[in-house]
Structure 1
Amino acid sequence: MEIYTSAACLVTVLCSFATSSAKEICHHDRGSHSNAGFNGQMKGSHHLHWCGNVSYNISGSSCCNGTITLGLSQLVADCCGSVAYNPLNEICCGRILTRSSTYAKCCGKDVYLTTTHLCCGKNNIFQRKENHSCCGKETYDMTTHCCCTNPTLEVKSKHETCCSKATDSRKKTESQQGSPPTRTLPILSDLNCGSETYNPHEQICCSGNLYKASALTKCCGEDAYTLSDDDVLCCNGILHRNVPEQSECVGGVIYTPANTTCQMSNRPRLGEHCCGGQTINPRTHICCNGHSHNKMNGNFCCGSEVYDHHNQFLRCCSGHLYNLTHLRGNAECCGSLLLKYSHHICCSSSTNSIMYDTKGNHHCCGHYYYNTSLWSCCAEHLKPTPKPNSSPAEYRLKPLTDLIPEMCNKTVFFGKVESVALENDLRHVVLKVVWQVNMKSENFIKDPWLHVSLDHCSSPATDNGMTYLWEENHNGKYKLLSHPVDLTSDIYMLYSVCYQKKG
């Protein structure tokens, strides 16, 4: 069977089973991100966020009190005054300090460990003792004394009259509040938003701005909104207000019921296809996020641009097209950024890809970059229990488009995660084989159900119901290669590129 025919059949079959909304994207690229890169020459313009009067890219920079910090994404940073820092490995106590423990917390401008000390008042640190608690700026033994308000906080002997009132008041407060919530990561007790500390149960921090929290409150860039608001729409990190009901964000563009037909008041003529505010002939042109391009310039979209995947000087990184003509050496994608220099590392998960400056004794855990003396990582989940002999993940997952054309020379397959079970240190995965790819001989795997065993902690996390690209090694073991794939655009692109490469 010719590969070209198989590729066409694959798309036809997949689209036939897709919903009506999925069918509409069978021949379009996936939505682009609104972040630009540091390196390389970028083709086209992309939306940037603003820090004061200066634009910046939240994938590789942070904004704190109107000041931009380069090299640290706002997606993983907190602010210490006007400087951004990584709260996983650092702590802000009036100044940025290296975190010595996951249990480190600020007491004024000093750091203390919540496991060994108490912070009373604003800046008084005491050795933690059994049955001792704070009363204002000092500690007291709760078995022999109490903390009274007369009108200031004072330590009194238990036979004092005020002690019974203080005890009743404390019990009433505890019964109303209940037990304090268990925190998986102690760092949550030290949350900062800009230059302010806040309680995440009462407030929500949106890029340095505090808002009142509720179960329906969500962030949209620097703004907050509630899911019950029917006149707002969050589109690529930008909050739009006073939009008509039932409006949708598609590819960074807001479509309302009145302008779904090419954003024009008049319906297009029969046979014409919409592309932004104009119509196109899909036989000669391609539509990329509302922008029309001649197919002679390429037949794959990268954000709003079109490109020829055979051009080795062009690289598409999550919807951003880079020209590599003026760059020397190899460059790879890190989300929407271009990772080129050896002193940078890319940490990625299925939700984010973040670029960091490389540091000793640091490793990736999903899209976080952590100090191994403070944290441990298991299946892309951080835990405040460092394990000296733990084996961090030796590789990171990539979007399928970043693996092309490397995959054209390998035998790989698309497998859907049906169920997962944990046994000792192994994660056993049952896969439903969706499609096998082999440019030499293309056949279905005889048994569509495949049982795969992975080292649990050192392997990236997988989600039930998601389809990934897998590779079988020579020793009969399987390796997870990609982030979850799109069963229409991603697989179609892999077949198209590999077939044309073979030709």
Structure 2
Amino acid sequence: MTQTRSKMIPLFALGYILLVWLICGFTNVSGATVGATEAYKNNCCRKTWMEIGYDIRKAVCCENHLYPGAERSRCGGQAFNPEEDTCCKVENGYTKTAVTEGLSEKVSSCCGLKAYNPLNEICCQSTVVAKPAPKAHCCGQEAFDVDKQLCCGPTHNKTILTRYSSDHLCCGNNQFDSKAECCCLIQNALKTQPISSSCCVKESARLGTKAHNTFQELSSQSTVVDKPAPHFQCCGGKVFNNHTQLCCGPTHNKTILTRYSSDHLCCGNNQFDSKAECCCLIQNALKTQPISSSCCVKKSAHLGTKAHNTFQELSSQSTVVDKPAPHFQCCGGKVFNNHTQLCCGPTHNKTILTRYSCDHLCCGNNQFDSKTECCCLIQNALKTQPISSSCCVKESGRCDEAPPVYNPHTHICCVGCVSERKSEWKPWIDQFYVSHGQHYCGTELYWPHTQICCNGHRHHKKENTHCCGVKAYNIKDPRMKCCAWALHTLTIGHEGQCCGSILQTSMNVCCSSEDEEVLYSAKTGYRCCGHRYYNPSLWSCCAGKLSPVQQPRQNESERVKESILLSVNNLNETNLCDEMRIGTLESVSPHSIMFGNVLKIHGRNGIVTHMASPQILKTPDRCSFPKLIPGNNYLFDEVNVFADFQHNSILQSLHFIISKCHRP
């Protein structure tokens, strides 16, 4: 009965369209419903290259060349894929660009026109060099270990020295023991002298200050004074005990006060009892006020309960902490440097991250490179996406940038793209088709029973047809592999392993975590720790977390751990279609993982059954397991845990497994 109706409706529609054509004079309405719709369709996301229309989600044009590929972006006049390559730009009067292959923009930094991995490498004077240690700094064009080495000498003639001890410092191109010696300028040359020598007591004419031993003395306003104890500091030209005294006032007018109690803080050149008073700015002057006063109540409501000296302290989650410098701010209950760090996450769960570059911004509890990515809300979770993806408002690397703001009377917004509204579009014609069983696919109309809509593109529906980005494919065809939004045709003997939207080869390694899947060029001895590809001589990995290697061990293989989050999309049919479980992670211990709300899936039989909670997965080697987040859903078997990066809900995951495996 349903099939009969679906055949009759187009005939009825054809007659109605013909009548309208005769009355209104339309000359481009065809007999078939699809053909009629084509006359009015939006051509969503279509641009023109050499008078040829193309979809900006399927290709990119650069320097009058059209490059196919859904994930392509533009680097100057060259097309590249930011999922596996990096575009570097240098501006020196004019702009130069270059593409570094084999290193994704997700994890790279640029050193001039060359991209590098800052986890294992460092950029020194426009030269990429391997890090000798996690705490590596540059010494000219070389890198050195700041814990074990010194970089000494003038800028034009730097020398790397093996540091004898933590007390040794530089003196010209040599080093000296700061506990027993000092560095003096003698006849225009820096030389080490015994700490009791006359030059260690005299002032240095070249430096304008007295040479001093920083462990035993303090240099304050060009005057060297004895340092009675480690907790003594400078206050103007004097020394004060920061345990029993306060150094108050502006920089040009410091005053040392005897601290009445540990609760007393500075307020201008005076001190106040922070339990009974607060410091208020009244008519451009700092004054102490009773804690019950209106200015204290206002400040207390804003900062918490304890009033504080805003010049020297920060109030963070009702806790007053020292303020190291003006550019330090609060992040939850901690202090962070907003020049080099980011404070990310919701109010109740703040995380301090080392900021990779000034282009990096927060996306939930993680950071992203705003030049190559954007932050999208996907299934109520913030996730980073390539800037070329449909969810990103900004379309990068296109011939014609889509305007972020549009006039709905003259343009249409379709799947993140803006297209000009055609004059022949009529609201009544759309309503006519929809009223007879059609639905919208972007701005096109389609028949759900005979067609499938893939991200604004219509395709004829066949048996086992599923969407992969804007394309449609047979999910049971072993030659086809959908990686994120990109559809690939496999060659004979290819395993078909996905890494994000890319098909992995034997020359590449895919490192994956909860947040990212990143493709790297394979390197001997390197390992994955989440989505980071690390050098085991520098870092150790446990449960997706990297830690600096303190001391090299004799048996390197005992320390080397690999921790990645496996993808269910990369399982072969045997493992995917046999018994699998899916559940919500409740907790993790050193030896086991606990799941709740567990369903058992048998994809080949198309059977889903519930299981008693909790379900326990034993983990003899916790370090080899990835970082897992309580509350998130995972698939698992008797040995491993898997993530479904391609789908955003349990229902979608179940549908994928049964659609691919079930043989009725």
TM-score of the pair, normalised by structure 1: 0.68
Per the alignment, residue 324 of structure 2 pairs with 177
SS in 1 for 2:222: helix
Does residue 482 (structure 1) correspond to residue 643 (structure 2)? The answer is: yes
Rounded Cα–Cα distance in structure 1 between residues aligned with 2:114 and 2:546:
24
Q: Deviations over 1:368-388 (max 9, x none)?
A: 211111111111111112773
Per the alignment, residue 444 of structure 1 pairs with 609
Per the alignment, residue 78 of structure 1 pairs with 109
Does residue 238 (structure 1) correspond to residue 395 (structure 2)? The answer is: yes
Write the letter of the residue equivalent to 2:656: M
Q: Deviations over 1:382-421 (max 9, x none)?
A: 11127731352487501x333363345411111211223x
The answer as to whether partners of 2:73 and 2:79 remain within 8 angstroms in 1 is yes
The answer as to whether partners of 1:352 and 1:367 remain within 8 angstroms in 2 is yes
The answer as to whether partners of 1:133 and 1:139 remain within 8 angstroms in 2 is yes
Rounded Cα–Cα distance in structure 2 between residues aligned with 1:151 and 1:78:
40
Residues 134-145 of structure 1 mapped to structure 2, 5 A cutoff:
141=178
Rounded Cα–Cα distance in structure 1 between residues aligned with 2:501 and 2:593:
33
In the TM superposition, what is the alpha-carbon distance from 1:347 to its structure 2 partner? 1.6
The answer as to whether partners of 2:75 and 2:99 remain within 8 angstroms in 1 is yes
Write the letter of the residue equivalent to 2:497: E
Q: Deviations over 1:65-113 (max 9, x none)?
A: 2111111112112222211122222222232222221122112222221
Residues 292-311 of structure 1 mapped to structure 2, 5 A cutoff:
292-296=458-462, 299-311=465-477
Rounded Cα–Cα distance in structure 2 between residues aligned with 1:168 and 1:417:
54
The answer as to whether partners of 1:79 and 1:208 remain within 8 angstroms in 2 is no
Q: Deviations over 1:28-64 (max 9, x none)?
A: xxxxx9799xxxxxx9741422211111101111112
The answer as to whether partners of 1:298 and 1:306 remain within 8 angstroms in 2 is no
Does residue 392 (structure 1) correspond to residue 570 (structure 2)? The answer is: no
Rounded Cα–Cα distance in structure 2 between residues aligned with 1:215 and 1:355:
21
Per the alignment, residue 481 of structure 2 pairs with 315
SS in 2 for 1:156: coil
SS in 2 for 1:496: helix
The answer as to whether partners of 1:209 and 1:222 remain within 8 angstroms in 2 is no
SS in 2 for 1:430: strand
Does residue 87 (structure 1) correspond to residue 251 (structure 2)? The answer is: no
CA pair 392-254 structure 1, distance change in 2 beyond 3 A: same
Give identity over the alignment, percent. Answer: 27
Which of the residues 200, 212, 221 maps onto 2:340?
200
Per the alignment, residue 276 of structure 2 pairs with none
Per the alignment, residue 15 of structure 1 pairs with none
Write the letter of the residue equivalent to 2:115: A
Segments of structure 2 that go 5 or more residues without pairing to the other structure are: 1-55, 60-66, 90-96, 183-194, 226-232, 240-246, 252-311, 313-321, 329-337, 344-354, 378-389, 397-401, 408-412
Rounded Cα–Cα distance in structure 1 between residues aligned with 2:79 and 2:445:
33
Rounded Cα–Cα distance in structure 1 between residues aligned with 2:236 and 2:129:
38
Q: Deviations over 1:195-228 (max 9, x none)?
A: xxx953499xxx9985598999974335999x9x
Rounded Cα–Cα distance in structure 2 between residues aligned with 1:453 and 1:88:
32
Rounded Cα–Cα distance in structure 2 between residues aligned with 1:460 and 1:119:
38
SS in 1 for 2:534: strand
Per the alignment, residue 371 of structure 2 pairs with 221
In the TM superposition, what is the alpha-carbon distance from 1:162 to its structure 2 partner? 1.6
Which range moved further: 316-325 or 369-378?
A: 316-325
The answer as to whether partners of 2:159 and 2:173 remain within 8 angstroms in 1 is yes
CA pair 255-133 structure 1, distance change in 2 beyond 3 A: same
In the TM superposition, what is the alpha-carbon distance from 1:345 to its structure 2 partner? 1.9
The answer as to whether partners of 1:35 and 1:59 remain within 8 angstroms in 2 is no
CA pair 317-428 structure 1, distance change in 2 beyond 3 A: closer
CA pair 106-446 structure 1, distance change in 2 beyond 3 A: closer
The answer as to whether partners of 2:500 and 2:517 remain within 8 angstroms in 1 is yes
SS in 1 for 2:653: helix
CA pair 210-435 structure 1, distance change in 2 beyond 3 A: same
Does residue 419 (structure 1) correspond to residue 587 (structure 2)? The answer is: yes
Rounded Cα–Cα distance in structure 2 between residues aligned with 1:234 and 1:350:
19
Write the letter of the residue equivalent to 1:480: V
The answer as to whether partners of 2:528 and 2:534 remain within 8 angstroms in 1 is yes
Per the alignment, residue 518 of structure 2 pairs with 354
SS in 2 for 1:464: coil
Which of the residues 335, 341, 344 maps onto 2:508?
344
Rounded Cα–Cα distance in structure 1 between residues aligned with 2:579 and 2:115:
44
CA pair 329-372 structure 1, distance change in 2 beyond 3 A: same
The answer as to whether partners of 1:135 and 1:153 remain within 8 angstroms in 2 is no
Write the letter of the residue equivalent to 1:100: P
The answer as to whether partners of 1:221 and 1:238 remain within 8 angstroms in 2 is no
CA pair 392-132 structure 1, distance change in 2 beyond 3 A: closer
CA pair 329-437 structure 1, distance change in 2 beyond 3 A: closer
Per the alignment, residue 52 of structure 2 pairs with none
SS in 2 for 1:76: coil
SS in 2 for 1:491: helix
Write the letter of the residue equivalent to 1:481: F
Does residue 374 (structure 1) correspond to residue 374 (structure 2)? The answer is: no
Rounded Cα–Cα distance in structure 2 between residues aligned with 1:80 and 1:277:
44
Does residue 253 (structure 1) correspond to residue 415 (structure 2)? The answer is: yes
Which of the residues 148, 156, 159 maps onto 2:211?
156
Rounded Cα–Cα distance in structure 2 between residues aligned with 1:201 and 1:321:
38
SS in 2 for 1:488: helix
Paired residues in the alignment total 419
Rounded Cα–Cα distance in structure 1 between residues aligned with 2:606 and 2:78:
54
Write the letter of the residue equivalent to 2:543: A
